[in-house]
A and B are shown apart, each in its own frame.
Chain A
């Protein structure tokens, strides 16, 4: 009797799932979790409200826990638009034929990674990474997320290129902090002696007075490379009507709410194309992150 009841309940609960999965057309977007979540949620809720008023459809932002989750959600068509990093954008566009990079920040054309060190190491800033070889060897080092462009791909590329060694062999301990803010906090606290992070995160935290400059400083800056961009799926017009992609693109390029732009922080959004990110693809293939 009891078993029967439980079985019936389970079956009815399965029906509930199927019912829940059919919902109205909502334009959903996500972003790679590269910074503290509170900041991201605040920023992208603002973007969702803005897009919603510009596009006349319901727009929803969903926070995710990893770069790969953002790529998978985009690939699985559970989100149709995403604010990707250079590498995650390349991964996503490879997996979703027809998808396009439509907008980037002005700063993303020439993005940089800062190598930072805890001041207790005594490492002095340098113009050439090669001149830091002896000081850096055997230190503890943290990247950001495993899938990050500025926090993993580019720093790993330069470590291999300049020191001719895998990061695990060159440093005594290599970690992945998870995001740029974490990298900053871990190196500031001395948990790791050296780290690499997105220069924009550093500059913004510095301007906001959130960095103890007696404890941590920038020791090297990478050459410039292209980074973040808005990428949209190729099939949005079929789902949301003709010209939808164009309207999203225009809405993003016309975004001039200074507070919202500052939260990224970007001075403006400008057009982007898939080809802009070829250098990232080549670098990722070179160090074996992409097949």
Chain B
């Protein structure tokens, strides 16, 4: 039938569409972002929880913190090692990780995540 060319054209369009990620990234290496730890964060050695926990669960931890502070007016967080922290993004997290652009944003941009923390919080509470 004379429709063979039309079908072939459709097939070529389909294959071009599904291989989009291959030609979109052609010749580009996209290494995982490297995070910059501030001197203070390096000196502290550990975060409020282990590094593995923080990479996968920090969003949930922050959400629980917000819930506990705002709904339960409970401000102290005690980690499994028995150390206590103030449940505060501005005063605890950003105290060490004061470099949002080189710490938070790198992974968030890489993974196309736009957390709404910064709708309310300023990223530089100390005004440096």
**Chain B binds chain A:** no
Chain B interface residues toward A at CB < 8 A: none
Chain A interface residues toward B at CB < 8 A: none
